[in-house]
Amino acid sequence: MQCSSFKNQERPWYRFWPSHVPKSIRYPMVPAWWMLERNLESFAEKDAILFLDYENMDELHRLTYRELFDRALAFSAGLRDLGLKKGDRVAAVLPNSPAYIISYYGVLMAGGTIVPNNAMARCDELHKTFKNSKVKAAIASERSFEEVKKASTGLDLKIIVAPLRGGGKVGSDHGVLFEDIIYKYQGQNIPPPDIDPSEDVAVILYTGGTTGDPKGAMLTHRNIVVNTIQFATWYAFEPCEERCVCVIPMSHSGGMTGVMNVPLYSGATLIVMERANPAVIGKVVERYKATRLFGVHTLFAALLNDKDACSCNYSSLKACRTGAAPLPVQIKKAFDALAGKEVLVEAYGLTETSPLAVANPIDRPKPGSIGIPLPDTDVRIIDIQTGHDVSIGEEGELLIKGPQVMKGYLDNPEATAEAIQGGWFRTGDVVRMDDEGYLYVVDRLKDFINASGFKVWPREVEEVLYKYPGVKLCAVIGVPDAYRGENVKAFVVPTDEAKGTLSGDDIIKYCKRHLSAYKVPKIIEFREQLPLSPAGKILRRVLRDEERSKT
């Protein structure tokens, strides 16, 4: 199956195309800050950001679209006065907050490139990205300042300290104060520099990729604008009518687009919290009649496992995307039941695709499927050994082509050439396509388990485990075995009600009834929690590293 040679009518997913979505979209050739600026004519006085305390829902700060744009513009002027030139890179080490959003757009308006970092990153991690991206400045919170300062050792960069809770001055005698910059330049009309949207890099996001140290994915202004419009169109965002709960990190690709750029482009009100607190999230959805709640499956699992969250009213929610990791069918069914309607739909993307590339139609989702390609996006599935296109129903590596695919990896032409071949981005994910064009992730190419010569995909085993009563979260990896090569091992986090009552032997017996013998876990380990990325994705590689350290 080589979708690049399909005529439009032959693409199987076109037979089930959403009626409200054009198959191709005309995207404006504009810089990424246009997505914020476009709202000033109609929605200038509408609340853009409502910043809440994640522990008690206290309101910390409000900003209208006019106030947000003016602050970003003032910050951009201050950056240029500090010496930032077009193309220079600025790191952000901030949690979800008005300061993060102002920083993101302010750097772009200054002609710079924003380099987002996990707000909880330690100095060694930060030093790697600072050095690799050659940042000229870093924006830190009061909490991250010391790590940022240590990370900047030996590097010539300025540190800007931003407040998180409301706009008061930071009590720090270090660095340049964020609010001082904005105050100094507020109201000054300093035009942004000229931007070539197709060539100029707006964002560098670091990704682990398939191997080795993190690589900086370069996303152009056009990548960002295109994917925002694709995303907003697909999920039918209504201009000025959406209220979006923003808890997954905006420093992650999914959070950048799904919980920041798409709502801002749509004139929504962003209900922003620094971090996810299940009991509070449910109450926020209910109090503000939120229409969108985007996240990963671990967020929705946490809501389902919290008594307070389960007692809240989710009926205001429209289609809610989950991505970054496969959505277990049981979690989808349970959350849809909690909302009283089908709201949770799975999608797929990568940092290198800005990120969204494939999504379920909101009026025809299929449980277990990541959906169909977005407008202007093509896919191929190739055999892992031969590289030839496979047939419908067969497994192979997913390749993606579209205007949202990154420019390349920063200063890494070898990795770029390996990842993008003939315009096709190699995802490293194994998928299959059904006869209606819906895609199903089998697993990461690197995650397969070789048990006595048989290939075991962890996701298939995990889907069975999620059906077992009392399993809250699980992860499956291969562990070395002298005879079989690898054994299947499952890590299981019980629900609160099931703690101390689950039996590994009983779970193995259950798996034997639902899986071929070679796929059944040989080892069950119960855990209080599993290692998660900042976006909430379960990190199998950390579990594998832990196992290797035991040998």
Confidence grade of residue 174 (pLDDT, cut at 50, 70, 90): low
Confidence grade of residue 9 (pLDDT, cut at 50, 70, 90): very low
Task: Report the phi/psi class of residue 229: left, alpha or beta, with left for phi > 0 and alpha for psi in -120 to 50.
Answer: alpha
Q: Residues near 348 by Cβ (< 8 Å), separated by ≥ 6?
A: 323, 356, 357, 358, 359, 370, 371, 439, 441
pLDDT tens, residue by residue, 210-265: 344 679 999 999 999 999 999 999 999 999 999 999 998 999 899 999 999 999 99
pTM to 2 decimal places? 0.84
Least confident of 15-19, 450-454, 469-473: 450-454
- 3-class DSSP state for residue 43? helix
Q: Mean pLDDT for the chain?
A: 89
Q: Residues near 327 by Cβ (< 8 Å), separated by ≥ 6?
A: 297, 300, 344, 346
pLDDT of 202 higher than 90 = yes
- Looking at this protein, which amino acid is placed at residue 465? L
pLDDT of 209 higher than 80 = no
Average pLDDT over residues 305-324: 89
User: Cα separation of 490 and 475, whole Å?
Assistant: 6
pLDDT tens, residue by residue, 86-115: 999 999 999 999 999 999 999 999 999 999
User: Cα separation of 351 and 427, whole Å?
Assistant: 10
Average pLDDT over residues 41-51: 96
- 3-class DSSP state for residue 484? coil
Q: Residues near 167 by Cβ (< 8 Å), separated by ≥ 6?
A: 61, 98, 179
pLDDT of 508 higher than 90 = yes
Could you tell me the two tokens for 347? 């999608």
pLDDT tens, residue by residue, 433-444: 999 999 998 877
pLDDT of 532 higher than 90 = no
User: pLDDT at position 494, please?
Assistant: 94
Give the chain's domains with CATH numbers. Answer: 34-432 (3.40.50.12780), 454-550 (3.30.300.30)
Could you tell me the two tokens for 381? 């599935």
Confidence grade of residue 6 (pLDDT, cut at 50, 70, 90): very low
pLDDT > 90 in the chain, percent: 68
DSSP 7: -
Closest C-alpha among 149, 57, 135, 141 to residue 98:
141
For residue 128, what are the CA distances in angstroms to 84, 145, 489?
21, 16, 33
pLDDT of 326 higher than 80 = no
* 333 Cα distance to chain centroid: 22
User: pLDDT at position 190, please?
Assistant: 80
Confidence grade of residue 398 (pLDDT, cut at 50, 70, 90): very high
User: pLDDT at position 453, please?
Assistant: 65
pLDDT > 70 in the chain, percent: 93
Cβ-in-10-Å burial (0-12, 13-18, 19+) of 391 comes to: exposed
Average pLDDT over residues 123-152: 92
Asked if residue 174 lies in contact with residue 159, where contact means CB atoms within 8 angstroms, the answer is yes
Confidence grade of residue 528 (pLDDT, cut at 50, 70, 90): very high
pLDDT tens, residue by residue, 69-83: 999 999 999 999 999
The total number of residues shown for the chain amounts to 551
Asked if residue 225 lies in contact with residue 28, where contact means CB atoms within 8 angstroms, the answer is yes
Phi/psi for 162 (5° steps) reads -110, 140
Average pLDDT over residues 147-163: 92
Average pLDDT over residues 516-529: 90
Phi/psi for 450 (5° steps) reads -100, 95
User: pLDDT at position 324, please?
Assistant: 67
Average pLDDT over residues 517-538: 87
User: pLDDT at position 8, please?
Assistant: 44
More reliable by pLDDT, 174 or 74:
74
User: pLDDT at position 173, please?
Assistant: 55
User: Cα separation of 351 and 400, whole Å?
Assistant: 13
Could you tell me the two tokens for 242? 């959406």
Return the percent helix, strand and coil in the chain, to nearest 5: 35, 25, 40
pLDDT of 172 higher than 80 = no
Confidence grade of residue 394 (pLDDT, cut at 50, 70, 90): very high
User: pLDDT at position 452, please?
Assistant: 65
pLDDT of 352 higher than 70 = yes
pLDDT of 354 higher than 60 = yes
User: pLDDT at position 4, please?
Assistant: 45
State the maximum Cα–Cα separation within the chain, in Å, rounded to a whole number. Answer: 72
Backbone CA torsion sign across 378, 410, 114, 295: positive
User: pLDDT at position 456, please?
Assistant: 81
User: pLDDT at position 279, please?
Assistant: 87
Average pLDDT over residues 455-483: 86
User: pLDDT at position 211, please?
Assistant: 40
Q: For 148-268, list the strands marked E by DSSP.
A: 158-162, 176-177, 201-207, 215-220, 243-246
- Looking at this protein, which amino acid is placed at residue 111? G
